[in-house]
Amino acid sequence: MSKTKKIADRFLRPVAAFALAVSLGGVQAAEDRVVAEPTTASIQAAVDAASAAGGGRVVIPPGTWDVGTIVLKSNVELHLSKGAVLKATRRNREIRQIPDLPGHKASHGLVIAWYAENIALTGEGELNGDGLDYFEHDKPADCWGRFFYRRKCGRPWVTLFNVFKCKNVKLEDVTLRDSSSWTGHIRMCEDVAINRVKFLNDVRWINSDGLDLDASRNVTMRNCRILSGDDGIVLRAIVRPGLEGPTVLENVLIEDCDIESGCQCVRVGCPSDDTVRNCTLRRIRMSGYNGIYFDNPVAYLSKDNEGFVDVHDMVFEDFSGTVKSYALQATVAPGIKIRGIRNCLFRNFDVHSSGAPRFIGNVWSKFENLRHENFRFNGELLPDGEFVGDFTNDKPLKRRTKKIDNSRAGHAAEAAPAKETKREGDVTYVAHAGEEYYAPDHSKAAYRIALEHGLDILKFDLHPTKDGQIVCNHDN
């Protein structure tokens, strides 16, 4: 049996079994409780009563309703009728958190749940985070002009759907719009079914991830639309204090989705995560800035941790679309020591981007068996085989010791370590195009980071325009 078939078969057989089980399970709607005049208190009372009675469905009628946090309870379905909008209130006292629990950092949400079973959010209505109120709209927050400034509005950042350690979770047909933070966060849950959901944010909003799947198992996601300023779909296994044993994201099937992102359409892992494995993504259409990104920068490294994540047995197939930067890349910053990125299959791709697929590790972090089949990049079909990476970098880890102001440089600047003050020998260090590992080449961020690193010389590409102006631009 070929390596490719082993990778695919190892995961696709069990996926069919758990997908069927999730689709047959879920909330049994014993009784509809229609909330005639929805408020935070009236909706919560209906949810509590339905759960106490053994289960039921709470129905929100059409209209825009200003509400605070709703806590879902076991065996309850919250159904948003067509035309119903639950909009996050500006009354901060009504915004609640999932509390600090072992393995979970307290976080606010509009619809939240923890330690619940058989819960659902359904219907053709909408959760609205009023996200525009959190940003200055006329000021770019980085050198590319891609993001808005966040402003201090005195309101907590609110994830629209935020659940922790729940079982049998269903999210179906709803629209999650204008989140001020991650739009959906599913943390350490089991048996999750997400169908025909729209995650819609302005692509200029920082931190407006579409859906973060975090240390969960047995997840299916189908026929969804994601528009996000930050990462579209995030596959992670975040390690939090208070947990014993491994933290794993596994058995995930995502198919037939459209993703447009101001950052990464699909982000896989971060350097201090535990294990991400056995995930299949197929029939995905991408647009925006980056496509698939296995990203391991210094900025996302936990304190007293030099890297730990292990990503393996992943299938990406039938991907298409055009992104601005890289359609596919995996990078590990110098000195970070992850356990590996291995046994990944990229099959049936037709993608376009300015950067070719790239794989950059270091002497401690190498990638294994990253195979591609029928992979078409910018119209050219690549010969089937394995992607080859650069793993020669042996520079030590340089942590940041100085906070970097990213109000001008955006996310790229966050990856920059502090200025290096000592040099060995008489070597002169020249930064062509700035520190292009951490920021786009020839950008203000790349030049600024190069200076913070103590590089001796900055090399610019300067060109005259037709109207006699001098511009900094790579080549012509």
Residue type, 376: R
Backbone dihedral region of 149: left (phi > 0), alpha (psi from -120 to 50 degrees) or beta? beta
Predicted local distance difference test score (pLDDT) of residue 56: 96
- What is the Cα–Cα distance from 6 to 312, expressed in whole angstroms? 13
User: Six-digit token pair at 187?
Assistant: 């943390």
Predicted local distance difference test score (pLDDT) of residue 89: 93
Going through 305-448 in order, the beta strands assigned E by DSSP cover: 310-323, 328-332, 340-352, 358-360, 367-377, 380-382, 385-386, 430-432
Backbone dihedral region of 444: left (phi > 0), alpha (psi from -120 to 50 degrees) or beta? alpha
Going through 35-75 in order, the beta strands assigned E by DSSP cover: 56-60, 63-67, 70-71
Q: Which residues contact 254 (CB under 8 A, 6 or more apart)?
A: 219, 220, 221, 222, 233, 279, 280, 281, 282, 284
**DSSP code of residue 363:** T
CB 316 within 8 A of CB 275: no
pLDDT in tens, 65-75: 999 999 999 99
CB 163 within 8 A of CB 190: no
Average pLDDT, the chain: 85
Backbone dihedral region of 90: left (phi > 0), alpha (psi from -120 to 50 degrees) or beta? alpha
Confidence bin at 421 (pLDDT 50/70/90): very low
Residue whose token pair is 């300067």: 462
User: Six-digit token pair at 167?
Assistant: 């079982």
Percent of the chain with pLDDT over 90: 65
- What is the Cα–Cα distance from 38 to 341, expressed in whole angstroms? 48
In this predicted structure, the answer to whether residue 169 has a pLDDT above a threshold of 80 is yes
For residue 158, CA distances in Å to 43, 106, 147, 181 come to 18, 12, 19, 6
Q: Which residue has the higher pLDDT, 137 or 210?
A: 210
User: Six-digit token pair at 200?
Assistant: 């819609």
Q: Which residue has the higher pLDDT, 253 or 431?
A: 253
> For the stretch 257-289, what's the b/e string if a residue is b when 16 or more beta carbons lie within 10 angstroms of its beta carbon?
bbbbbbbbbbbbbbbbbbbbbbbbbbebbbbbb
Predicted local distance difference test score (pLDDT) of residue 438: 52
In this predicted structure, the answer to whether residue 406 has a pLDDT above a threshold of 50 is no
Predicted local distance difference test score (pLDDT) of residue 399: 79
Rg (CA), the chain: 23
- What is the Cα–Cα distance from 337 to 341, expressed in whole angstroms? 11
Instruction: Say if pTM beats, i.e. exceeds, 0.75.
Output: yes
Confidence bin at 430 (pLDDT 50/70/90): low
Q: Which residue has the higher pLDDT, 147 or 295?
A: 295
- At 9, give phi and psi (nearest 5°): -65, -35
CA angle 134, 198, 327 (to 5 degrees): 90
Q: Taking residues 89-114, report their average pLDDT.
A: 90
- CA 309 remoteness from chain centre: 16
Q: Could you tell me which of 279, 128, 259 has the C-alpha nearest to residue 203?
A: 259
In this predicted structure, the answer to whether residue 476 has a pLDDT above a threshold of 70 is no
For residue 404, CA distances in Å to 303, 350, 421, 453 come to 17, 38, 17, 12
**DSSP code of residue 232:** S
SS3 for 48? helix
Q: Which residue has the higher pLDDT, 203 or 296?
A: 296
Confidence bin at 17 (pLDDT 50/70/90): very low
Q: Could you tell me which of 219, 107, 230 has the C-alpha nearest to residue 162?
A: 107
Predicted local distance difference test score (pLDDT) of residue 13: 44
Looking at the DSSP assignment, which residues form a beta bridge with residue 162? 112, 185
Q: Taking residues 436-447, report their average pLDDT.
A: 62
Q: Taking residues 188-205, report their average pLDDT.
A: 94
User: Six-digit token pair at 316?
Assistant: 């990406």
